[in-house]
Structure 1
Amino acid sequence: MIRRDLLLFAAGLPFQVTEGEHLRMTGQALGWTILRDRAPRPDAPETGMVLIRVQRPVPPASRPGHLAAMLQAFRPFHFPNLPAEEMVRLGGLPGTAIETRGMGIGSRQTVMVRAVCLYGRDRSFLLIASAPEAEWPALRPDVLRVMEGFRPG
């Protein structure tokens, strides 16, 4: 069996990511790599997912507040208040993370979101995970495993 993280790297993406117990890669669209819940309810207006996007590098002076600004402009969700960014390190890269409650714009459903921006010299990486608030406690450990398994190429 071919491991999914190796397959993603071989597909020409500048990163590796391992699927989770609940999250599997479903494709790419508009520059985003998409992992979705393996067993969503057919009638669910929101489902668990992780989105990953490669972006231009963010200069060190522009990093404070960068992730919050990205989330405020992220159209699928509305965030009334964002907590302070926390410092993280994933895949050998420094970054910032925010975990907060928001609202799905299309569904009007409350969701939990964990967003991470990793800052590399040649590019940055934006990882955004979300799930309906009621499903977040069950999906959060898997979301964290997927994010912690992220490796830049």
Structure 2
Amino acid sequence: MRRALLLSCLLLAAPAARAQAPFTLPEADRMRLVTHGLGWTVLRDATAPHGAAEMGMLLVRAQRPVPAAARPGHLARTLQNLRTLHVGPLPAEEHADLAGLPADLLQARATGVPSGVPVVVRAACLYGPARSWLLVASAPVAEWPGLEAEMARLIAGFRPG
């Protein structure tokens, strides 16, 4: 319910917040831009039933730059502090290069709050000199196999503006 309320608030804020996002994402088959609001850009699974307790989503947010010394564990701490997800034990962050920036990646199981629906979460944090970028993809466990490739492609294709 809370996640649906957050999404509803973002949708209501959409007309006032339709400014061009300072980044690009590749085209998606199922994931469609829903809104920009409260600092987040939200894409959701266009095939999800109306009123679903959880659905495939990709949330993107610019953050303050994260100094190199503070990066170890930053993504895990960020995921553990998201109010709409209760993440279980997290694996070690994978280090990568995305869009020419150093990045950390995680994938884990979580539970939607307050829905209680089990979800898979794939998250990335790209560390740029002027800002960092947080990308959080999630979908119900049963729907993840159908969205996993698209979510991975969206995250890998992310380009800061």
TM-score (norm 1): 0.90
The Cα shift of 1:124 comes to 0.2
Q: Where is the helix percentage greater, Structure 1 or Structure 2?
A: 2
Q: CA deviation at 1:111?
A: 0.2
Question: Are positions 1:47 and 2:59 aligned together?
Answer: no
The answer as to 2:100 corresponding to 1:89 is no
Q: Distance in 2 between matches of 1:134 and 1:103?
A: 13
2:48 paired with 1:31: no
Equivalent residue number for residue 133 of structure 1? 141
Distance 2:44 2:123 in 1: 15
Deviation at 1:42, TM superposition (A): 2.5
Partner letter of residue 32 of structure 2? Answer: R
Q: Deviations over 1:67-108 (max 9, x none)?
A: 000011011000121111001221111100110000001210
Q: Contact between 1:48 and 1:132, CA under 8 Å: does it hold in 2?
A: yes
Q: Which residue of 1 aligns with 2:121?
A: 113
Identical counterparts, % of pairs:
51
**Native 8 Å contact 1:19 1:35 kept in 2:** no
Correspondence 1:19 to 2:8: no
Distance across 1 between alignment mates of 2:61 and 2:154: 14
> 1:127: how far off?
0.1
For the 8 Å contact 2:94–2:104, the answer to whether it is kept is: yes
Figure out how many residues of one structure are paired with residues of the other and give that number.
Answer: 144
Cα distance between partner residues in 2 of 1:28 and 1:100: 26
Structure 1 residue ranges without an equivalent (≥5): 1-10
Aligned letter for 1:38? A
Q: Report how far residue 14 of structure 1 moved.
A: 2.1
Shift of 1:43: 4.3
C-alpha separation in 2, matches of 1:149 and 1:103: 27
- Give the Cα–Cα distance (whole angstroms) in 1 for the partners of residues 74 and 146 of structure 2: 29
Secondary structure of 1:41 counterpart: coil
Distance 2:136 2:146 in 1: 17
TM-score, normalised with respect to structure 2? 0.86
Q: What value does the CA root-mean-square deviation take over the aligned residues?
A: 1.3
Counterpart for residue 147 of structure 1: 155
